[in-house]
Amino acid sequence: MADSKKKKSKKEDDSGSKKRATRSGSNVFAAFSQHQVQEFKEAFQMIDQDKDGFISKNDIRQTFDSLGRLCTDSELESMISEAPGPINFTMFLTIFGDRVAGTDDEATIVNAFGLFDEGEGKCKEERLKLAIMTFGEKFNAEEWKTCISEAPMDHTGKIDLRRWAKMITGQDEEEAAA
């Protein structure tokens, strides 16, 4: 009877196979401000639908379902496969830390946006949209819509490129928290 109540050291995924949790370095917390860690914690808790401390494929499916977006099994598998093991909070933070580490610094982004600067560090949305959907790693319409939804606009409808660069690199949030 006591054996059935032992804590499991392994977590079963949705296919029934077991994965061993891998330890992530605790320095992942140093990559984020305290405010950012708290926001990630809230997001993690929201996604962890069954409240077991791990994000599973079913948790992600339920989260997307609640937002009105249906995901295919292959999309869900792709998301889950980004982690080398079960996704606890530290692993969740590590995944986002790796993504943030891949973001260019503010100066690089400002310089890239400078190509579109129509004066005063601003540009028309349509001009940037054309470039982003035409050249390089082309965005599709949905990706552009998601991207532009966060862009700071002035009263004339132009994108404030400097502020947007700060938002993309997380500098804007750090300044606001300070």
Q: Which residue has the higher pLDDT, 69 or 174?
A: 69
Print the domain residue range for 51: 24-101
Do residues 28 and 96 share a domain? yes
Return d(Cα 164, Cα 110) in angstroms, integer.
Answer: 9
pLDDT at 167 over 90: no
For residue 110, what pLDDT is reported?
A: 78
Q: Is 4 contained in some domain?
A: no
Q: pLDDT tens digits, residue range 29-82?
A: 777 788 888 988 999 999 999 999 999 999 999 998 988 888 899 989 988 988
Average pLDDT of the segment spanning 1-15 = 42
For residue 27, what pLDDT is reported?
A: 67
Do residues 145 and 93 share a domain? no
The answer to whether the predicted template modeling score (pTM) of the entire model surpasses 0.85 is no
- What's the number of domains the chain is made of? 2
Do residues 76 and 122 share a domain? no
How far is the CA of 48 from the CAs of 41, 69, 86, in angstroms?
A: 10, 17, 12
Provide the CATH number for the domain around residue 47.
1.10.238.10
Could you tell me where the DSSP H helices lie in 10-154? 34-47, 57-66, 73-80, 89-101, 106-114, 125-134, 141-148
Q: pLDDT tens digits, residue range 129-159?
A: 888 888 877 888 888 888 888 899 998 889 9
Q: Is 12 contained in some domain?
A: no
Average pLDDT of the segment spanning 112-122 = 86
